[in-house]
Amino acid sequence: MTVAAESKSSRKARAGAAKLSVRMYRQGLGDCFLLTFSSKKGPRYLLIDCGVITGTDKGKEVMTAVVKDICTTTRGHLHAVAATHEHWDHVSGFVQAREAFDDIKQIDEVWLPWTEDPIDPLAQKLVEGRRKAVNSLRQAAMKLRAAESAMAEPLERLLGFSGPLAAGKGQTTAEALEYLRKRVAEPKYCRPGDQLTLPDVEGVRIYVLGPPVNETLIRKSDPTKKGREVYEMAFAFGMDSAFLTAVDQLDKRVEDLSVDEAQKRVLTQPFDRALQIPKDEAADQPFFMEHYGRPGDTAMKWRQIEGDWLDSAGALALKLDSDTNNTSLVIAVELVESGQVLLFTGDAQVGNWESWSGGSWEIDGRTVKGADLLARTVLYKVGHHGSHNATLRAGGLELMASKDLTAMIPVDRAIAMAKVPPWNMPFPSLLKRLEQKTSGRILRLDRKLEDLKANGKPEGVSAALWSRFRPRLRGDEKDELYVECDFPG
Partner 1 sequence: MAAKEPEISPPSFRRLRTYAFDPSVATQLETAVLNVATLQIPWEQPGQAPLEPGPIDEYLEVIDIDPATGACYAPVDLDHRYLLAQDGLPPSEGNPQFHQQMVYAVARKTIAHFEQALGRVVLWSPRRIEKNGDPADKEFVRRLRIYPHALREANAYYSPEKRALLFGYFPASTTDPGRLLPGGMVFTCLSHDVVAHETTHALLDGLHRRFVEASNPDSLAFHEAFADIVALFQHFTFPEAVRHQIAHTRGDLASQNLLAELAQQFGQAIGNHGALRSAIDDIDPKTGRPDPNKYLAATEPHDRGAILVAAVFDAFLSIYKTRIADLLRIATSGSGVLPEGQLHPDLVNRLAAEANKAALHVLRMCIRALDYCPPVDMTFGEYLRALVTADYDLVPDDDLGYRIAIVEAFRLRGIYPTDVRSLSTESLRWSKPTITLPIQDLNKLWLQWKLGGNREEIHNRTIKNQQDVERWVKDKNIDKDMAKQMGLAFFDDAPASIERSQDGLPEVEIDSVRPARRVGPDGQQTTDLVIEITQSRRGYFDPQRQKDADAGKIKDPGDFNFRGGCTLLIDMETGGIRYCIGKYILSEKRLKAQREYLSQDNRETLRATYFGTGRSGDGAEPFAMLHRDFERRA
Where helices occur in 150-192 by DSSP H, the ranges are 152-159, 173-182
By beta-carbon proximity to partner 1, the closer residue of 89 and 334 is 89
DSSP letter for 203, please: S
Handedness of CA 317, 318, 323, 327 (dihedral sign): positive
CA dist., res. 239 & res. 230, Å (int): 13
CA dist., res. 403 & res. 441, Å (int): 10
Closest by Cα among 14, 12, 36, 15 to 24: 36
By beta-carbon proximity to partner 1, the closer residue of 151 and 408 is 151
Q: How far is the CB of 232 from partner 1 (least distance, A)?
A: 7
CA dist., res. 458 & res. 422, Å (int): 26
Q: How far is the CB of 274 from partner 1 (least distance, A)?
A: 11
Q: How far is the CB of 459 from partner 1 (least distance, A)?
A: 19
Pairing of strands 473-475, 20-25: unpaired
Q: How far is the CB of 252 from partner 1 (least distance, A)?
A: 10
By beta-carbon proximity to partner 1, the closer residue of 36 and 54 is 54
By beta-carbon proximity to partner 1, the closer residue of 160 and 192 is 160
Residue 148 burial class via C-beta count within 10 angstroms: exposed 0-12, middle 13-18, buried 19 and up: exposed
CA dist., res. 381 & res. 384, Å (int): 9
By beta-carbon proximity to partner 1, the closer residue of 195 and 424 is 424
DSSP secondary structure string, 323-349?
HHHTT--EEEEEETTTTEEEEE-TT--
Q: Collapsing DSSP states into helix, strand and coil, what is residue 9?
A: helix
Handedness of CA 433, 28, 412, 150 (dihedral sign): negative
By beta-carbon proximity to partner 1, the closer residue of 105 and 125 is 125
Q: How far is the CB of 76 from partner 1 (least distance, A)?
A: 39
Residues 166 and 156: beta-carbon distance below 8 Å: no
Helical (H) or strand (E) element with 370 = helix 370-375
By beta-carbon proximity to partner 1, the closer residue of 37 and 427 is 427
Closest by Cα among 183, 220, 180, 176 to 54: 176
By beta-carbon proximity to partner 1, the closer residue of 234 and 363 is 234
Q: How far is the CB of 318 from partner 1 (least distance, A)?
A: 5
Q: How far is the CB of 28 from partner 1 (least distance, A)?
A: 18
CA neighbours within 13 Å on the CB side: how many for 220?
22
By beta-carbon proximity to partner 1, the closer residue of 32 and 310 is 310
Q: How far is the CB of 353 from partner 1 (least distance, A)?
A: 15
Q: How far is the CB of 433 from partner 1 (least distance, A)?
A: 13
By beta-carbon proximity to partner 1, the closer residue of 116 and 354 is 354
Angle CA(201)–CA(203)–CA(204) in degrees, nearest 5?
70
Contact residues for partner 1 (CB under 8 A)? 150-151, 154, 157-158, 221-222, 225, 227-228, 230-235, 237-243, 246, 267-272, 275-279, 282, 285, 287-288, 291-292, 302-303, 305-309, 311-312, 314-315, 317-319, 322, 387-389, 421, 423-424, 427, 429
Q: How far is the CB of 16 from partner 1 (least distance, A)?
A: 45
